[in-house]
Amino acid sequence: MAAVISDLGATTTAEPPAPARSRRRGGSAWARRLVLVIAGLYFLVPLYAAFRFAIGTSDGGVSGAVFAGIPAQDGFLDAITLTVRLAVIALVITLVLVVPTAVWVHLRMPRLRRVLEGVTLLPIVVPPVVLIIGVLEVAPPELKGTPDLLALVYVVLALPFAYRALDSGLQAIPLTTLVEASRSLGAGWGRTLVSVVLPNLRSALLAAVVLTVAMVFGEYTMASLDQYQTFPVWIVVFQQANARVSVAVSLLALLGTWALLWLISLVDRRRQSPEDT
């Protein structure tokens, strides 16, 4: 009887035959491919339609002259120059504020991480219209009428993205061990941050940079209410005169963002490859 029970148990717990397992794996592989194809079509079909619209001509033909003539459009270079200036100012201030704060909280005050996460979420909760109107009401006279005020507002908007990118990077490295080892070798806090912590946060820093720059290049409401013609404001205004050029510029901006994200992944792979080997 015990032998029969053991045989029944062995029979019930035995793995399915190899053909069944292969069919199951093949079905899941096809399901993943189908999901990827649907997702790819969902994103690529609108982009293809926009590209066809941009290169289309009034007589039904196609021409790439719309892309070649973008730099010569009225106000384009001024809008790009202003937006790049705002992005640089916002990026520098954001990193100077967020990097030391995030490192210090992770090292000395880990219980405040939740509080800091909640504080950095406030710019997402407050509507942009309310935020920019409030800033314009309380800003000092020296900043009113200057693009520097808009750059400071962009710093506030960039906090949620930059902090979460750096927070994820800090959780992925042995921060305490690295800092203690550097300090035991006689390095000060500044040298430790620059020479030890930041090289290990390269991917997180690049992600914070891309997210901040993408936010500045995509923000419309605050720049419009502050009466500055930044890159997204120029796209909306110029769309009324030439929709094809506006769509072409939007496509180039999207491709530029994708190129930056691809660069981040490429740099991260090159950094990790020596460690893997």
User: Is the confidence at residue 171, as pLDDT, over 80?
Assistant: yes
Q: Are 271 and 202 in contact (CB under 8 A)?
A: yes
Model confidence over 218-251: pLDDT tens digits? 888 888 888 888 988 888 888 777 778 888 888 8
Structural tokens at position 174: 């042995």
Residue indicated by tokens 């719309």: 66
| CA angle, 215 then 242 then 248, to 5° | 50
Alpha-carbon separation of residue 36 from 29, 31, 262 (angstroms): 11, 9, 19
Q: What CATH architecture is 71-272?
A: Orthogonal Bundle (1.10)
Q: How confident is the model at residue 88 (pLDDT cuts 50, 70, 90)?
A: very high
* pTM for this predicted structure: 0.76
- φ, ψ of residue 266 to 5 degrees: the values are -65, -45
At 110, list the tokens: 């880990």
Q: What angle do CA 101, 106, 111 make, to 5 degrees?
A: 105
φ/ψ bin of 15: left (φ > 0), alpha (ψ from -120 to 50), beta (otherwise): beta
